[in-house]
């Protein structure tokens, strides 16, 4: 017979595997349907809502490094989904926005797992959201 600690350890590992598997399957499905990574779609969705942002602004909002976002924007620009423009007030500043094709991609792309999760998460009671965040932060620290 398993001890209570062993049962909890098994349950937490099973839950983590389920999260990782769902994320992996969603990313593969998204790539098949659109040719985009989950992060690329999130950047496109962000630009769809925000209009235009700097690379640093995008990085802050999606939680990626500026270098990663720069590389991602390069790829999205090569595909004709985004465009870079110099700021009118400050020519040193470069703003990124969607092209017409980028807007079409966002419109026809499936909803990313992360977006669906956030929709469900926002429906939870505030104490549940805080408990989940605290637990996940602790798991990440482990």
Question: What are the beta bridge partners of residue 94?
Answer: 86
pLDDT digits (tens, 9 = 90+) for 29-65: 888 989 999 899 999 999 999 999 999 999 999 999 9
CA geometry: angle 100, 103, 107, nearest 5 deg:
140
- Residue 62 near residue 42 (C-beta atoms within 8 A): yes
> pTM for this structure?
0.75
Q: Comparing 1 with 138, which gets the higher pLDDT?
A: 138
- In the predicted model, is pLDDT for residue 112 greater than 90? no
| DSSP characters over 2-57 | --HHHHHHHHHHHHHHHHHHHHHHHHHHHHHHHS--HHHHHHHHHHHHHSEEEHHH
86 vs 122, higher pLDDT: 122
């Amino acid at each position: 017979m398993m001890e209570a600690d062993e049962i909890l350890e098994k349950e937490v590992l099973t839950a983590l595997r389920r999260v990782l598997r769902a994320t992996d399957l969603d990313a593969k499905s998204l790539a098949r349907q659109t040719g985009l990574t989950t992060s690329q779609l999130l950047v496109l969705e962000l630009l769809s809502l925000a209009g235009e942002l700097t690379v640093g602004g995008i990085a802050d909002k999606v939680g990626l490094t500026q270098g990663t976002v720069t590389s991602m924007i390069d790829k999205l620009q090569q595909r004709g989904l985004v465009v870079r423009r110099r700021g009118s007030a400050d020519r040193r500043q470069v703003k990124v926005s969607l092209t017409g094709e980028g807007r079409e991609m966002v419109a026809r792309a499936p909803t990313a797992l992360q977006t669906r999760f956030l929709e469900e998460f926002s429906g939870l009671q505030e104490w549940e959201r805080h408990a989940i965040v605290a637990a996940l932060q602790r798991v990440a620290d482990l």
